């Protein structure tokens, strides 16, 4: 099973839309997918029509004292399941800090799902956190949605500084441009020539589109909501690029 995390220091950069749409594109590609909504706000859970809240105490689930797999919910799409958000996940960092497994704890929580799924996608809350540090060991790829702006580059650089990554770990971080408006000169310029501080971002980028905003209203991924929209096709291309990287 491959594990892909959507993470950024900043909020409002399109992590949830990327998590949901990449998961759906993988699902359309016949990959059994589990999306784990780790953000207490529960946006991915909402879009996928899931029920927020876990039936057991989050502390027991994350400590491995209760089976995490029992909390999985089915979505309307076959072979596409959801591990829903819970408001108590706001204490996630404290619970991870308290684990006896150290920085490998998240990875050990994820491993049992490999028996049933080909891909797990993690929709992560923003911030510099213990979760971010554990993603380095748990995820095969950390996608960083990045709006083309100097502040976004600064946030990415701060994220790298905080994580203090080794070279091979650094290669797991893959920024990609999101909410791109080609009417803006800076956006066009950075798509053609990304800032050096971003390293090697994904070639695929996602345009700003009103269809993305409609996802939370109609609770459907773009592939079902607007199958021919530019944003849908862009996420499809991003998935293909990601899949090729994961399979390499």
Q: What is the pLDDT of residue 100?
A: 62
* 229: pLDDT strictly greater than 80: yes
What band does 43 get if pLDDT is binned at 50, 70 and 90?
Answer: very high
Q: Which domain holds residue 205?
A: 2-247
Can you point out the beta strands (E) in 10-118?
33-37, 73-74, 80-83
- Rounded distance, CA 205 to CA 226, Å? 18
Tabulate helix, strand, coil % of the chain (nearest 5).
Answer: 50, 15, 35
Q: What is the pLDDT of residue 95?
A: 79
- Rounded distance, CA 184 to CA 127, Å? 28
Segment holding 240, helix H or strand E: helix 230-247
Cα 181 from chain centre: 22
- Rounded distance, CA 239 to CA 52, Å? 27
**Mean pLDDT score across all residues of the chain:** 92
The model's pLDDT over 54-68, given as tens digits with 9 standing for 90+, comes to 888 888 888 778 889
The model's pLDDT over 169-202, given as tens digits with 9 standing for 90+, comes to 888 999 999 999 999 999 999 999 999 999 999 9
Q: What is the pLDDT of residue 174?
A: 95
More confident residue, 154 or 101: 154
Q: Residues 35, 123: contact at Cβ < 8 Å?
A: yes
Q: How many structural domains compose the chain?
A: 1
Q: How many CA atoms lie within 13 A of 131 on its CB side?
A: 24
Query: Any idea what the CATH number is for the domain that residue 103 is in?
Result: 3.40.50.300
pTM of the entire structure? 0.95
């Amino acid at each position: 099973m491959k594990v892909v995390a959507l993470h950024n220091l900043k909020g409002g950069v399109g992590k949830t839309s990327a998590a949901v749409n990449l998961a759906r594109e993988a699902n359309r590609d016949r990959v059994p997918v589990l999306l784990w909504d780790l953000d207490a706000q529960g946006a991915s859970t909402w879009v996928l029509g899931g029920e927020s809240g876990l039936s057991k105490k989050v502390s027991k689930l994350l400590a491995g004292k209760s089976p995490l797999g029992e909390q999985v919910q089915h979505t309307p799409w076959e072979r596409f399941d959801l591990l829903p958000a819970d408001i108590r996940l706001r204490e996630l960092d404290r619970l991870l800090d308290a684990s006896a497994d150290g920085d490998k704890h998240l990875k050990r929580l994820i491993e049992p799902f490999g028996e049933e799924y080909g891909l797990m996608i993690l929709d992560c809350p923003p911030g510099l956190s213990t979760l971010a540090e554990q993603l380095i060991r748990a995820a095969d790829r950390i996608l960083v949605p990045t709006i083309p702006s100097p502040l976004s580059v600064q946030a990415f650089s701060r994220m790298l500084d905080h994580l203090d990554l080794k070279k091979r770990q650094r290669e797991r971080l893959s920024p990609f441009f999101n909410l791109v408006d080609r009417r803006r000169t800076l956006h066009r310029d950075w798509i053609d020539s990304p800032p050096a501080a971003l390293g090697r971002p994904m070639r695929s980028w996602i345009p700003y589109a009103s269809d993305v905003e409609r996802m939370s209203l109609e609770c459907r991924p773009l592939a079902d909501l607007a199958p021919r929209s530019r944003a849908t096709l862009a996420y499809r291309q991003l998935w293909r690029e990601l899949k090729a990287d994961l399979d390499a």
